[in-house]
């Protein structure tokens, strides 16, 4: 249970690549088709942002290149970016890249492994080709199996798969098949997220038009509980509401995030939490590149949250972890006593058996997990 604690002094570097091969039907993130852009210009701009914004004293323990879909960058650009990062920060505990199946082969993965990338997060989403095409994914089940195989052959020993449940048309049986397929591939990490209907996405419009019927709440909950049961039985430990890992393979970069420790985000639309400031970069590729070219700041939004707000954010993020809030550590980090600050929701959910306190930790019980989001709302604003 102490993985979270032992890494809580970390800081991380996040690099955002807002390119995708094409837009998935459900995706509400900012990303653009890679074919419409000059990827070499974007990578150069990101490297310049490192030089402009990041002091040489910054020493991240974890690095994460996400998106979008970083693996849709041409190989030479991805290698250039990774090479620049590893020459600046040669010693990191964990270096993850998000990969979409079908976009990288064994040779390109071997090159990344040799350059120092030691973790892959593969966007599998489903092991059913009908579900993949419903979601607008460009890959097949076979591509996922090949991607995992190629990653293992390239020397990766820390591989994660992302899965989506509650896809319209899916059943408990088809979800179990997806989980077992992921388990059978022998990966170290699995993330499971319920499909969400983001505003203005083609999927949400299809729901509004009555063409698509979302999975009912009860089935959604049963699918989530099935994920916990099957993954735990297969030796994965649930360490966060949506994340499961074999012991020792928890994503350290994300643990840092749930600890509400600092990180710097680079690239269009990237967010940072640094020196108690939350900032977001310009979320438009060409405007971002032009600003970098002129030597101007790429920060579009900046906010300095008040200490109370930071305390609430820390509680909400910590409670996402199964280990919950370390009460002493919370006070050191935020200056607030968690039991006083959140006395009301702690009483309310404690009586319902949804929150517990043991060994100096306050955490959500297993019964609370399916409704965690609504519980966490009561900690976000006191
Ligand atoms: S690959 Fe990921 S980021 Fe890109 S459109 Fe699909 S879901 Fe969104």
Whether the per-residue pLDDT at 163 is higher than 80: the answer is yes
Residues with CB under 6 A from ligand 1: 20, 23-24, 27, 29, 31, 67-69, 100, 123
Q: What is the pLDDT of residue 195?
A: 98
Strands 299-303 and 277-281: antiparallel
Residue 357 CA to residue 365 CA, distance in Å, equals: 10
Q: What is the pLDDT of residue 142?
A: 98
H-helix or E-strand spanning residue 190: strand 189-194
Q: What is the pLDDT of residue 315?
A: 98
Q: What is the pLDDT of residue 352?
A: 98
User: HSE-up of 179 (CA within 13 Å, CB side)?
Assistant: 26
- Mean pLDDT, rounded, for 179-205: 97
Residue 182 CA to residue 208 CA, distance in Å, equals: 32
Of the candidates 356, 354, 351, 348, the one whose C-alpha atom is nearest the C-alpha of residue 368 is 354
Query: Among 32, 67, 201, which is best to mutate for testing ligand 1, by the most ligand atoms less than 8 A from CB?
Result: 67
**Domains in the chain with CATH codes:** 3-258 (3.20.20.70), 307-377 (1.10.10)
Which ligand 1 atom is nearest residue 137's CA? 6
Crossing angle between the packed helical segments 217-233 and 172-184, to the nearest 10 degrees: 30
Strands 237-240 and 263-266: unpaired
Q: What is the mean pLDDT of the chain?
A: 95
- For 35-82, the pLDDT digits (tens) are 999 999 999 999 999 999 887 788 999 999 999 999 999 999 999 999
pTM: 0.95
Q: What is the pLDDT of residue 4?
A: 40
- For 128-143, the pLDDT digits (tens) are 999 999 999 999 999 9
Q: What is the pLDDT of residue 9?
A: 59
Residue 140 CA to residue 102 CA, distance in Å, equals: 8
Q: What is the pLDDT of residue 281?
A: 97
Whether the per-residue pLDDT at 266 is higher than 60: the answer is yes
Look up residue 301 and give its two tokens.
Answer: 């939004």
Quick count: other Cβ atoms within 10 Å of Cβ 344?
11
Residue 66 CA to residue 14 CA, distance in Å, equals: 7
Q: In this structure, which residue's CA is closest to atom 6 in ligand 1?
A: 24
Q: What is the pLDDT of residue 8?
A: 43
Question: 305-308: long-range contacts (C-beta < 8 A, 24 or more apart)?
Answer: 305/276, 305/278, 307/334, 307/335, 307/336, 308/336, 308/382
């Amino acid at each position: 249970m102490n993985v979270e604690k032992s890494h809580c002094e970390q800081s991380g570097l996040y690099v955002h690549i807002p390119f995708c091969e094409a837009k998935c039907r459900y995706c509400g993130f900012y990303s653009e088709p890679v074919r419409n852009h000059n990827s070499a210009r974007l990578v150069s701009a990101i490297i310049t942002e490192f030089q402009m914004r990041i002091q040489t004293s910054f020493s991240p323990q974890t690095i994460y290149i996400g998106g979008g879909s970083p693996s849709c960058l041409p190989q030479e650009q991805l290698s250039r970016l990774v090479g620049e990062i590893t020459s600046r920060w040669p010693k990191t505990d964990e270096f993850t890249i998000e990969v979409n199946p079908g976009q990288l082969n064994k040779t390109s993965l071997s090159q990344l492994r040799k350059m120092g990338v030691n973790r892959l997060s593969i966007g599998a989403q489903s092991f059913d080709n009908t579900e993949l095409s419903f979601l607008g994914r460009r890959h097949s089940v076979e591509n996922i199996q090949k991607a995992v195989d190629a990653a293992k052959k390239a020397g990766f020993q820390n591989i994660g798969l992302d899965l989506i449940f509650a896809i319209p048309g899916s059943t408990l049986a088809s979800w179990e098949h997806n989980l077992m397929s992921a388990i059978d591939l022998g990966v170290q990490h699995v993330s499971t997220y319920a499909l969400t209907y983001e505003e203005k996405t083609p999927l949400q419009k299809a729901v509004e038009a009555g063409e698509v019927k979302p999975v009912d709440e009860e089935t959604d909950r049963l699918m989530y509980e099935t994920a916990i049961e099957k993954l735990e039985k297969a030796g994965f430990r649930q360490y966060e509401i949506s994340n499961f890992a074999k012991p020792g393979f928890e994503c350290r970069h994300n643990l840092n995030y749930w600890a509400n420790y600092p990180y710097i985000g680079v690239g269009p639309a990237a967010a940072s939490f640094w020196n108690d400031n939350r900032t977001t970069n310009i979320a438009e590729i060409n405007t971002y590149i032009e600003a970098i070219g002129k030597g101007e700041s790429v920060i579009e939004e900046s906010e300095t949250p008040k200490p109370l707000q930071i305390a609430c954010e820390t509680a909400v993020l910590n409670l996402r972890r199964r280990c919950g809030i370390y009460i002493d550590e919370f006070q050191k980090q935020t200056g607030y006593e968690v039991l006083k600050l959140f006395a009301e929701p702690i009483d309310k959910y404690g009586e319902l058996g949804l929150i517990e306190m043991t060994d100096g930790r306050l955490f959500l019980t297993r019964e609370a997990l399916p409704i965690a989001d609504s519980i966490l709302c009561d900690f976000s604003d006191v």
